[in-house]
Chains A and B, each alone.
Chain A
Amino acid sequence: MASTAVSSGARRIRRQLPTSPWLFAAPGLLIAGAFILYPFVSTLVNAFTDRRTLVPGEFVGLANFRELLHDDMFWIGLRNSSLYVLGVVPALVLLPLLLALLVHKSIPGITFFRSAFYTPVVASIVVVGLIWVWMLDERGLVNSLLETVGVGRIGFLSDQWLILLSAMAVTVWKGLGYYMIIYLAALANVPRELHEAAAVDGAGPVRRFLSVTVPAVRSTMVLVAALASVAAFKVFSEVYLMAGPSGGPAGEDTTLVMLVQRTGTGLTGRVGYASAISVVVFAVTLVLMLLVLRADRKEES
């Protein structure tokens, strides 16, 4: 979705059966429509009802949305989900790129490193959560280390802000390898000649990074920024695991999707109200996505 501008080349390659583009896109559209968008339409509808898990609801107009405005937990959720985007996205755009550059060069043992760096991605988030909760515990590994170096123990999992920060750290940790491979695939496309030319010109590594690498993977950076910000705003598992099901001390670490899960699932779930929150999440991520794309286009022109 990065650079939407179509180069003039595309216009020249045009002759095709009018149906073939749709044939190409059909399987993907069909699946997306039937199993994601169609169910989501029911969420849209439910957002205007007082439906519960086992009781079909009645139309209540905008009541759910009005209730949202006065629900402290909703604002806490909105705050935390937004903070998550601000905290996580810059790190996830930059760090994996640096990591990709680090493992890009073929030096002995690099295969081992590349695979090892990917480990956090492949482990399921539940496992990752359990491991980190255990490590960041008051008496866990990290605090033992901090104590030996004389810093003293830090209550990573008892303070609301530290919990949120810890969850962000886990998200970044788990995302490193994921976005690294997207960058690796993109780096393979950077023509070597460019680097060589720059090196011959006597450009240092930082200059080469800024003037050769970054422009070459810019569309990938935008893609990563878009993916990471949507994922960050919809964060659930990391915070759920670090802060506990009720969302940290006094629920202060609740994110919007945690609120969707908490209010809407289970046999007593308020499906209608949760759907209204889902709709808000959907709308905000849409805006986020558009902002990223717009920033991209502006920079391009």
Chain B
Amino acid sequence: MSVLEKVRPAPQQPAATAREPRITDENGRRIRVWELVLRYLLLLGVLALTVGPFLWQLSTSLKGPTEDIFSSPPRFLPSDPTPHNYERVAETIPVWDYALNSLKVALANVVTNCVGAALAGYALARLRYRGRRVATLVFILTMLVPVEGIIIAQFTTMRELGLNNTLIGVLLPGCVSALNVLLMRNAFLNLPYEIEEAAYVDGANVWQRFLRIALPAVKGTLAVVAIFAFMGAWDDFLWPLIVLSDPANFTLTIGLNYLHGTFANDERLVAAGTIIAVAPLIVLFACLQRYFFRGVGEGAVKG
């Protein structure tokens, strides 16, 4: 893969930075230089593997109309980079309208999943009642169903509810995903019971304990759920395609699919479409990732 170019963006200089006092591990101890070098080497190696293919896609999307994109062996860098292909994507499909629809569904999906999964996860992990194991089993079974086999039945259900061809119809089946419920359950299970006990002794009821104590302690997992929910809604293709008929409601993945087909087969456009679809998710992840590191200790008893 294109190891050569992707080394560039890495903020390197381990030797120089190692002397700065802020290069410490999580315990405030200084990290040895050789260890730091090793870490950066490993990081760069994984970086080449994970981002390489996308850089190549990015490069294709920047190639102008006079450049061969199927030359063999492949050429990595565009000889004359141009944003032209992105403009053409916007000319070919109403990319902003579609992105807005996707954004609506994805954001709604984040809210419903965070709320629904946190509530259900808490019920599965921390509350005692008859039928708890059955409830857990329901979520596990849900996860096992092969979706490929039920999509038409899902559509018929949606039509009976009168929700076909609406964004709500797109949202509903995944709006509290079983996987997220189980992730939240696991997070709540790992909380030490002591932290709730104090509140319990103070007379806090179950809702108060959930909102004030348990929920803030699992922020990291909540951020994970948010990412998964956003991503799931943003990337889904087949279900929105089946549910939606009216182009005004189309989501971005359906829209981008118009870029390749019998009459329009231009890899540069497809590549530009790919980048348009991926970029917002990367930004979202970059914004949220610091929450993964706020774990259990925050605002509560240290574990």
A contact residues vs B (CB 8 Å cutoff): 1-3, 6-7, 9-18, 20-22, 24-29, 31-40, 42-43, 53, 99, 102-109, 111-128, 130-132, 135, 139-142, 144-145, 173, 176-177, 181-182, 184-189, 191-192, 195-196, 219-220, 223, 227, 230, 234, 236, 257, 260-261, 264-265, 271, 274-275, 277-278, 281-282, 285-286, 289
- The residue that B144 contacts in the complex, of A142, A265, A286, with Cβ under 8 A, is A286
Cα separation A105 to B147 with both chains bound (whole Å): 38
Residues of chain B contacted by A27 (CB below 8 angstroms): 112, 115-116, 119-120, 176
A218 to chain B minimum Cβ distance, whole angstroms, is 10
Residues of chain B contacted by A182 (CB below 8 angstroms): 183, 224
Dominant secondary structure at the B interface: helix
User: Nearest 3 A-B pairs (CB), nearest first?
Assistant: A9-B193, A188-B295, A28-B120
Residues of chain A contacted by B181 (CB below 8 angstroms): 28
Contact B138 A115 (CB under 8 A): no
Known: A132-B53, A189-B296, A257-B146. Contact between A39 and B224, CB under 8 A? Answer: no
- In the complex formed, the residue of A with least CB distance to B172 is A35
Interface residues of B in 157-208 (CB under 8 A from A): 157, 172-173, 175-176, 178-179, 181-183, 185-187, 189-190, 192-194, 196-197, 200, 205-207
29 contacts between A and B (CB under 8 A): A9-B193, A12-B197, A13-B193, A20-B206, A24-B119, A24-B123, A25-B123, A34-B157, A35-B157, A37-B145, A39-B154, A43-B149, A99-B46, A112-B10, A115-B282, A118-B282, A121-B231, A124-B253, A126-B237, A141-B2, A141-B56, A141-B73, A177-B50, A181-B224, A182-B183, A185-B295, A188-B296, A261-B148, A278-B150
Cα separation A236 to B117 with both chains bound (whole Å): 26
Q: Is B15 an interface residue (CB 8 A)?
A: no
Contact A31 B138 (CB under 8 A): no
Residues of chain B contacted by A31 (CB below 8 angstroms): 116, 172-173, 175-176
B165 to chain A minimum Cβ distance, whole angstroms, is 16
Known: A43-B149, A189-B296. Contact between A113 and B189, CB under 8 A? Answer: no
- In the complex formed, the residue of A with least CB distance to B236 is A124
Contact A282 B144 (CB under 8 A): yes
- In the complex formed, the residue of B with least CB distance to A288 is B144
- In the complex formed, the residue of B with least CB distance to A284 is B144
Q: How many residues of B contact A (CB 8 A)?
A: 116
- The residue that B146 contacts in the complex, of A29, A260, A289, with Cβ under 8 A, is A260
Q: Is B90 an interface residue (CB 8 A)?
A: no
Cα separation A31 to B163 with both chains bound (whole Å): 14
Contact A14 B128 (CB under 8 A): yes
Known: A9-B193, A275-B149. Contact between A105 and B172, CB under 8 A? Answer: no
Contact B193 A25 (CB under 8 A): no
Contact A124 B39 (CB under 8 A): no
Cα separation A39 to B142 with both chains bound (whole Å): 11
Contact A131 B26 (CB under 8 A): no
Contact B182 A9 (CB under 8 A): no
Cα separation A122 to B128 with both chains bound (whole Å): 37
Residues of chain A contacted by B189 (CB below 8 angstroms): 2-3, 219
Cα separation A191 to B300 with both chains bound (whole Å): 13
Cα separation A9 to B10 with both chains bound (whole Å): 47
Contact A122 B186 (CB under 8 A): no
Residues of chain A contacted by B285 (CB below 8 angstroms): 115, 118, 122
Cα separation A128 to B277 with both chains bound (whole Å): 12
Binds A, one of B78-86, B92-100, B129-137: B129-137
- In the complex formed, the residue of B with least CB distance to A20 is B206
Contact A2 B186 (CB under 8 A): yes
- The residue that A117 contacts in the complex, of B46, B227, B234, B295, with Cβ under 8 A, is B46
Contact A264 B149 (CB under 8 A): yes
B264 to chain A minimum Cβ distance, whole angstroms, is 16
Residues of chain A contacted by B179 (CB below 8 angstroms): 227
Residues of chain A contacted by B119 (CB below 8 angstroms): 24-28
Residues of chain B contacted by A112 (CB below 8 angstroms): 9-11
- In the complex formed, the residue of B with least CB distance to A14 is B128
Cα separation A185 to B39 with both chains bound (whole Å): 20
Contact A13 B53 (CB under 8 A): no
Contact A102 B289 (CB under 8 A): no
Q: Is B72 an interface residue (CB 8 A)?
A: yes
Cα separation A177 to B286 with both chains bound (whole Å): 13
Contact A107 B39 (CB under 8 A): yes
Contact B146 A189 (CB under 8 A): no
Residues of chain B contacted by A12 (CB below 8 angstroms): 193, 197, 200
Known: A25-B123, A32-B139, A35-B172. Contact between A102 and B295, CB under 8 A? Answer: no
Known: A37-B141, A119-B50, A173-B49. Contact between A195 and B27, CB under 8 A? Answer: yes
A125 to chain B minimum Cβ distance, whole angstroms, is 8
